[in-house]
Structure 1
Amino acid sequence: MKTLTKNNISIKKQQVKDFIKINLPLSLVNSKEVNSYFEPLIQQFIPQWTNHRFRAKILSVVRISHNVIALTLQPSKKWSGFLPGQFIELTTHQNGAAFTRCFSISSAPRLWEKDNKIELTIREQNNGKVTPWLINGLKAGEYTQISAAKGDFTLTDRPNHKVLIAAGTGITPIKSMLGSLKYERHDSSIDLIYFARDEHLFQEELTTLASHSHLKNHAKINVHFINSKSQGRFSIDMLRQICPTFIDSEFFICGPAQMITDTRQALIKEGVSQQHILQEFFSAHSTQPDLKDIQISNTELGNVQFIKNAMPTDVSATPKTTLLELAEAAQLNPNYGCRMGVCHQCKCTKKSGITLNTTTGQISDTGEEEIQLCVSLPVGDVQVEI
């Protein structure tokens, strides 16, 4: 028979408190937070109020090309600003369902500091649930919900020459970076290589920034607009023509997943340090590393145990199925946002076992650590707390 001690009794009391804290709101209002249940009612009288995250007033939604829109927002005063290159999570509601997507801020911090405004430049995705809806679904004068600024895709203050490589709307965080240099001293020289098939966004503004960059106390910026249809995609030969001594440069890459993967691999093969390459994905990975490519066979796929609210659920892993997909198949309703490793909403704790990060190709150790469900594949038996 197990002897009860003061310590055991204290632990049991805490477990009961935790159970009540989680399950009482769920039983009353089907939400983990009672305040969340009343949020829509309160917002009828105080539109800028929110129980979590931040509210932002929609100032304008404008189409700037056939498939790109510009969204101008005025975040609430509680919002703490951003670093150039960072992104926010934008939550919209359609027919009672909430959708969260990640978008980089394309304006420089100066606009926020001076006018309390930020700008997002968004390409409409074919068959997307959110981006095609924004142009008609968001109305000037209404409010939407945003997160704090996130991400580490930001310029360093090291004096190394910097090469910024963008494709399509991957230019948006880089435009914010370059725009910030108008008002800050920066000792680096910068080359922007911008690929586009049909149109280069912000071409006039970027050209103006480059022309002003040669003034005193400004970083020297050179802009190279590349038509990928006629001039091709990124290659080391192209890079050598633009930056002959690139080997010690710092690289900042933003665009579609395949473009980033190919560019990164080419740079590393050429001898560029991985620590000098920073990237921001602008679409989900079209392909995931095959387990056999990293010497892990499908026979090592085992059992995944998800622990939610202290309740375990066992799921059999299947090849190339992420932990997020496995949890959804088990109807565990895990938190998620972008589904591509950017927003970190699905971050949770791996208690034991090995996982593969599909964005980096890195294998975890067997101990406890934080992982992202959407970009993690289980390798063998894994236990995850969500």
Structure 2
Amino acid sequence: MTAPPIRRLFSRSITRTLLTPHPAEHYIRSLGLEWSDDPTGATVLTVDRPVPDVTVLRLRMPAGVKRPEPGAALEVGVVVNGVVHRRHYSPVDAATRADGLATIAVRRHPGGIVSEFLWDEAAPGMRLLLGDPAGEMSLPQTRPADILLVSGGSGITPMLSIASTLASEGHCADRDTGTLGPDLAITPSTQGRVAWLHYARRVEDVPFRDRLRELSRAGIDVQVIPTAEGTSTWGLDGHLTAAHLEAVAPWHPGATVFLCGPEGLATGLEDALGTDRFAEVLRERFTATVAEVPDTDGGAVTHVRSGVTAQNNGATLLEGAEAAGLNPQHGCRMGICHTCTAVRLSGATRDLRTGEVDSEPGCRVQICVSAPVGDVEIDL
């Protein structure tokens, strides 16, 4: 009797049930093998590096995986040195794309574990883990008539998805598409108006410039405004001002405004709009807020789903949870089986095997080998 191939074995529903709470891919990778038939992963089809420090990946999505709403993000995971690291990237495609593909852009950050890894290692055939769509900002199902997009740097990606979706739906179909900017003498269309101000150090630093030209031809008023050298097609340059808004979208007081970019851009937009108007802006924050890490271990641990908060004096999160009367899933208690993995929502923890302290919100940690460093919220 011939043993079934490992792929078929791990694909069987009974096997997947026995491996809960982790997908089969998790265990396959721990054996040093590649996995090409896991329904939770995406496959890299092409890799492009169109401008310095930006990796563009075209992915084949698994069947049945929900595409994020325009402006929202995919949770993408990679395995680096045996550890799963997860980040969020907004697909740049229109939500109407129906071929099962998605395109993401990853800006390389010095010292960034995931961005450096993908810059160095990404290649066709690579497998990426996928989580649930996430994000603070997305295009409403009932499309606003007038829309102003404001972005900077990597903030171009969620705006590309929003703009591409609107263009594919013909949102600006009656606009004059003969110029890059709007003709202010034209009567506004019944569909709506969309203007987009994107800020970058130089125009040459911006990826997807061909896509921006296509959007302009579809009636979206796109202005790439350089902050270091050069000017836009309308002679605009420098950081965002009220004059920029008036030049590109004088109708913005009645528009729905979307923002994604660094804090300096947000400050400029708040100054231009005023505090009350800025409070209405739909915003995707450029980076998560990371708490200050205390000098000593221990702190109050809040188990969010259980509603239990308990003081922990430096024991593992698993031991602390058990002392508080909880019974989290666990197995080996040695950091090997990953059964105890939970999401650290806020705060910092120390990996007791390596001494490394991490404070990035939303990361999965093994509670059997992680101790709190200050106050922590954990999804248990």
Match of 2:349 in 1: 328
Match of residue 140 from structure 1:
124
Matches within 5 A, 1:363-374: none
Report the Cα offset of residue 48 of structure 1. Answer: 2.3
- d(CA) in 2 for partners of 1:270, 1:307: 35
- 1:96 match: 82
Describe the superposition over 1:272-312 as per-residue Cα deviations: whole angstroms up to 9, x where unpaired.
162x3011123345x989xxxxxxxxxxxxx7343498793
Which residue of structure 2 lines up, in the alignment, with residue 119 of structure 1? 103
CA contact (8 A) 1:169 1:201 kept: no
Deviations 1:194-244, CA, capped at 9 Å, x for gaps = 11102232223212221222xxxxxxx211121112421112232223223
Aligned partners of 1:61, 1:191: CA distance in 2, in Å?
30
Alpha-carbon spacing, 1:175–1:191, altered in 2? closer, same or farther (3 Å)? same
State the one-letter code of the partner of 2:78: T
Pick from 254, 259, 275: which aligns with 1:253? 259
Structure 1 unaligned spans of 5+: 1-27, 214-220, 290-302, 317-322, 332-336, 347-376
1:63 matched to 2:49: yes
2:125 partner amino acid:
G
- 1:164–1:325: structure 2 CA closer, same or farther, 3 Å change rule? closer
Matched, 1:280 2:298: no
Q: Does 1:193 align with 2:197?
A: yes
Residue 63 (structure 2) aligns with: 77
CA-to-aligned-CA distance 1:2-60 (integer Å, 9 cap, x gap): xxxxxxxxxxxxxxxxxxxxxxxxxx99x96596764537995852226xxx2111112
Residue identity in the other structure for 2:349: E
- The number of residues matched between the two structures is 288
Matched residue SS, 1:105:
coil
| Amino acid aligned to 1:211 | R
| Equivalent position SS for 1:266 | helix
Q: Identity across aligned pairs (percent)?
A: 20
Structure 1 residue 138, shift from structure 2 partner:
2.7
Q: Equivalents in 2 of 1:224, 1:138: separation in Å?
A: 31
Name the CA distance, whole Å, in 1 between partners of 2:291 and 2:347.
16
Deviation of residue 148 (structure 1)?
2.9
Alpha-carbon distance in 1 for matches of 2:68, 2:275: 34
Indicate the SS of the match to 1:153.
coil
| Stretch of structure 1 that moved more, 155-164 or 38-47 | 38-47
Per-residue CA deviation, residues 101-149 of structure 1 (Å, 9 max, x unaligned), is 11111122344x1x21100011101121111211332331232211232
Which ranges of structure 2 fall in alignment gaps of 5 or more residues? 1-17, 172-190, 230-236, 293-298, 315-343, 353-357, 365-373
Distance of 1:62 and 1:55 partners within structure 2: 20
Q: Give yes or no for contact 1:110–1:180 (8 Å, CA) kept in 2.
A: yes
What does 1:237-252 align with in structure 2 at a 5 Å threshold?
Answer: 237-252=243-258
| Structure-2 separation of matches of 1:169 and 1:36 | 30
Which one is further off, 118-127 or 151-160?
151-160
Q: d(CA) in 1 for partners of 2:275 and 2:251? A: 12
Aligned with 2:50: secondary structure?
Answer: strand
Cα distance change on mapping 1:125 and 1:260 into 2, 3 Å: same
Conservation of the 8 A alpha-carbon contact between 1:100 and 1:338? no
The residue identity in structure 2 corresponding to 1:226 is I
Contact 2:53/2:119 (CA < 8 Å) preserved in 1? Answer: no
Distance 1:326 1:262, change over 3 A: same
Decide whether aligned partners of structure 1 residues 314 and 103 sit closer, same or farther in structure 2, where only a CA change above 3 A counts: same
Question: Which residue identity does 2:215 align to in structure 1?
Answer: L
CA distance in 2, matches of 1:177, 1:98: 30
The answer to whether the 8 Å contact 2:300/2:310 transfers is no
Give distance in 2, aligned partners of 1:105 and 1:178: 12
**Secondary structure of 2:282's aligned partner:** strand
Contact 1:60 1:73 in 2 (8 A): yes
The Cα offsets for residues 303-360 of structure 1, whole Å up to 9 and x where unpaired, read as 73434987933369xxxxxx967451597xxxxx9936xxx568xxxxxxxxxxxxxx
Residue 304 (structure 1) aligned with residue 304 (structure 2): no
Does the Cα contact within 8 Å between 1:304 and 1:314 map onto a contact in 2?
yes
Q: Could you tell me which residue of structure 2 aligns to residue 269 of structure 1? A: 274
Q: Quote the residue 1:49 is aligned against.
A: 38
Query: What does residue 202 of structure 1 align with?
Result: 208
Shift of 1:75: 1.4
Give the match for residue 175 of structure 1.
Answer: 160
8 Å CA contact 1:75, 1:117 repeated in 2: yes
Does structure 1 conserve the Cα–Cα contact (< 8 Å) formed by 2:25 and 2:38?
no
3-state SS of 1:64 partner: coil
CA contact (8 A) 1:63 1:70 kept: yes
Structure 2: which amino acid aligns with 1:206? L
1:244-276 CA-partner distances (Å, limit 9, x unpaired)? 3422221101112x13541453255264162x3
